[in-house]
Structure 1
Amino acid sequence: MKQENPLVSVIIPCYNHEKYIAQCIESVVQQTYPYLEIFVLDDGSTDGSFAIIQELSKQYGFFAETHANKGLSATLNKGIQQYARGKYVCIVASDDYWERTKVEKQVAFYEKHPDLGFIFGRTYIVNEYSNLIRYEENLPIPNYQVFRDQLVGPYHPNCSFEQLIYGNFIPALTVMIRRSVFDKIGYFDEKSAIEDWDMWVRIAHECKYAIQDEFLGFYRVHASNISNDQEKMQVSRDYLIEKWKGTLKKSKPVFENILLREIADSCVTDKKRAAKLIFSNMHLFFRYKAFRKSFKRLFLKFRFRKKR
């Protein structure tokens, strides 16, 4: 294959998305970049997803298989380890879909910046009927305006591990990763429900990464999004932070800001956990207004309950 036309491996994991899988697959096979190998891996769907996948596979000639349900991370790892041969790897969930020039734009961008571990772009937000809900005008990055002002054309040279560990601002469907990065970093953590964030953090700790400031995909919001399971997400977030605690403590302000956010979130979602975090970190009381605010919120809540 010519150097200027590197092969891109596309992995589409599917689980019970019969309503959306056809649109997802169509958005991949209709890409303007032709040098693709496509793997649609059905993770034991119990609806009609795989029947749709099989019909489209006959029409377009991509690889399709189904296996007993093993979870998203295990499915992705299987696709990468057993099938992906491309220089670059892209993953798109079966309920999301791409803008037609997504791969073409990213390959051109990546070839100019070969030192990057991964790149990502911006995304439109759509509902279950593919109607546009909003543009993702602002990525949820701390100090976003400063981040935005530092963009050089479509390239941001200063994306950091610290920004990413603070919160996941990367739309997974817009990511492109060098295949060789997995050999260095490893594969998706099968113990985590936020396997994408975990992966981006691990890569960012070892490699540079960058935003391509263009809309490249459509992220679908619907009732069965895993991000709606707040308890599961919280457990996975705690697990992620625990993994990096030693590294973060070397950067004290970053660690403390993450802790403040965890306390604030827990005041709403898990008051017992919030109390535990507050009382084990009282040394922060006079240092941070946000800490005192959370302390006050929790204290007033408990006092109100006692009076009733």
Structure 2
Amino acid sequence: MNFNQFKEKYQKFEVEEFPNKVTYSPLVSVLVQTYNHENYIRECLDSILYQKTDFDFEILLGEDYSTDTTREICKDYAEKNPENIRLFLHHPDNKIIINGVSTGNFNAFYNFYKAQGKYIAFCEGDDRWRDPFKLQKHINSFKTNFRLVMNYHSYITVDHNSNLFQTYQMKLQPIGNISGTQLLEGKFHPLLSTTCFKKVFNEIPLEMTQVMNVDTFLISLLGNFGDAIYLKNIFPSAYRIHKGGMWSLKEKKQKYLSKILTFTKLEEFYLSQGNKRLSQFYRDKKANTFKMAAVFYFLNLNFFQFIQNVWNYIKTKFFNLKFL
């Protein structure tokens, strides 16, 4: 799906682009999506603007119609840094709804389509980089390994007051090299804000716009173009998360629904590409997610959802039926 097709399908109101003087030939595009981040967006943008590089880079800042002062802060930064920041002011009617949830997908994909760089990096509006040479180190790595499509580094988790604390997410971050096959199959899943990757495609599969776990889909796509390596010489970035306890029942349900939808769309995409092996691989992952969901609902005495997920597991595992 090209940019015009994307806008035709999802854009109801024209996106306003704030005036800028960004060069037309940056090497790296840094994509920043922000919504209600008034307490964090300054730190985020400063950490990118302070990057020391021997190449030009641009910041594509997508402001998703915040209800706090985030939009005003973004305008102020764009006005003061016209050579670096391209600010896009979004309308709420353009938001893409998935599983009944309003997402920031339109904002993120719009940034991707508008990116001019040969390489893409991400930083969410409530996160921040902690290494002023991060971008330079990413690019230096690509110069010495032409098989790479992506590289990444480690991160720390911080709370709303920027206090460090340990989370299970940190343990999921891989700390080693990842082959193209492993990327394709999602065997390892680096946090997207720690990655930098080659912009090896300009069009986005329709299926990718229909999932909440966009990063899972993206990493699988990148596996078609090369390998990934871990860069231990980049100082860990700060990933902000609100300190809390276990997932609530509602959040767990949404988590399973999101995974099932993502695996369904990956299954459909690879089947459309004639890759039956990967299509079956993601069908099996979907079946396994139904099984895990069934166990969860059984333990929480939700027997209707338990039976429904058991039935979906059986259909997915043993029959070639389409359903969700």
Q: What's the TM-score once normalised by structure 1's chain length?
A: 0.71
Residue 77 of structure 1 contacts residue 188 of structure 1 at CA under 8 Å; is this kept in 2?
Answer: no
* CA distance in 2: counterparts of 1:158 and 1:190, whole angstroms: 22
User: Which of the residues 65, 71, 77 maps onto 1:44?
Assistant: 65
Aligned residue for 1:235, secondary structure, equals: helix
User: Which is helix-richer, 1 or 2?
Assistant: 1
Query: What's 1:67 paired with?
Result: 90
Query: What's 1:259 paired with?
Result: 287
Query: What's 2:150 paired with?
Result: 118
User: Which of the residues 261, 272, 276 maps onto 2:307?
Assistant: 272
Q: What letter corresponds to residue 116 of structure 1 in structure 2?
A: L
Q: What letter corresponds to residue 67 of structure 1 in structure 2?
A: H
Distance 1:120 1:265, change over 3 A: farther
* CA distance in 2: counterparts of 1:274 and 1:208, whole angstroms: 36
Aligned residue for 1:124, secondary structure, equals: strand
Residue 263 of structure 2 contacts residue 283 of structure 2 at CA under 8 Å; is this kept in 1?
Answer: no
Cα distance, 1:22 vs structure 2: 1.1
* CA distance in 2: counterparts of 1:116 and 1:9, whole angstroms: 18
Query: What's 1:297 paired with?
Result: none
User: Which of the residues 129, 136, 153 maps onto 1:104?
Assistant: 136
Q: What letter corresponds to residue 139 of structure 1 in structure 2?
A: L
Cα distance, 1:273 vs structure 2: 3.5
Q: What letter corresponds to residue 108 of structure 2 in structure 1?
A: L
Residue 11 of structure 1 contacts residue 40 of structure 1 at CA under 8 Å; is this kept in 2?
Answer: yes
Q: What letter corresponds to residue 95 of structure 1 in structure 2?
A: D
Cα distance, 1:163 vs structure 2: 4.5
Aligned residue for 2:208, secondary structure, equals: coil
Query: What's 1:295 paired with?
Result: none
Residue 125 of structure 1 contacts residue 221 of structure 1 at CA under 8 Å; is this kept in 2?
Answer: yes
Distance 1:248 1:125, change over 3 A: farther
Aligned residue for 1:97, secondary structure, equals: coil
Structure 1, unpaired ranges of 5+: 142-147, 284-308
**Is 1:237 aligned with 2:269?**
no
Distance 1:75 1:220, change over 3 A: same
Deviation sequence 1:103-145 (CA, Å, 0-9, x none): 111111122223333222221111111111138764366xxxx
Structure exhibiting the larger radius of gyration computed from Cα positions: 1
Distance 1:27 1:248, change over 3 A: farther
User: Which of the residues 102, 109, 113 maps onto 1:81?
Assistant: 113
* CA distance in 2: counterparts of 1:75 and 1:277, whole angstroms: 33
Aligned length: 261
Cα distance, 1:277 vs structure 2: 3.9
Query: What's 2:172 paired with?
Result: 139
* CA distance in 1: counterparts of 2:76 and 2:205, whole angstroms: 34
Q: What letter corresponds to residue 218 of structure 2 in structure 1?
A: M
RMSD: 3.3
* CA distance in 1: counterparts of 2:40 and 2:87, whole angstroms: 16
Q: How does 1:1-308 map to 2 (within 5 A)?
A: 7-33=27-53, 35-61=56-82, 62-69=85-92, 70-71=94-95, 72-82=104-114, 84-100=115-131, 101-134=133-166, 138-139=171-172, 151=176, 155-157=177-179, 160-161=182-183, 163-164=185-186, 169-179=189-199, 181-183=200-202, 186=205, 189-204=208-223, 206-214=224-232, 215-222=235-242, 229-245=251-267, 246=271, 247=275, 256=284, 259-269=287-297, 270-280=305-315
Distance 1:80 1:222, change over 3 A: same
Q: What letter corresponds to residue 88 of structure 2 in structure 1?
A: E
* CA distance in 1: counterparts of 2:197 and 2:159, whole angstroms: 27
- Bigger Cα displacement from structure 2, 87-96 vs 113-122: 113-122
Q: What letter corresponds to residue 87 of structure 2 in structure 1?
A: A
Cα distance, 1:94 vs structure 2: 0.7
Deviation sequence 1:63-114 (CA, Å, 0-9, x none): 22312023322212222223x2112111211111112222111111122223
Structure 2, unpaired ranges of 5+: 1-24, 96-103, 298-304, 319-324
* CA distance in 2: counterparts of 1:107 and 1:250, whole angstroms: 30
Distance 1:198 1:129, change over 3 A: same
Cα distance, 1:207 vs structure 2: 1.8
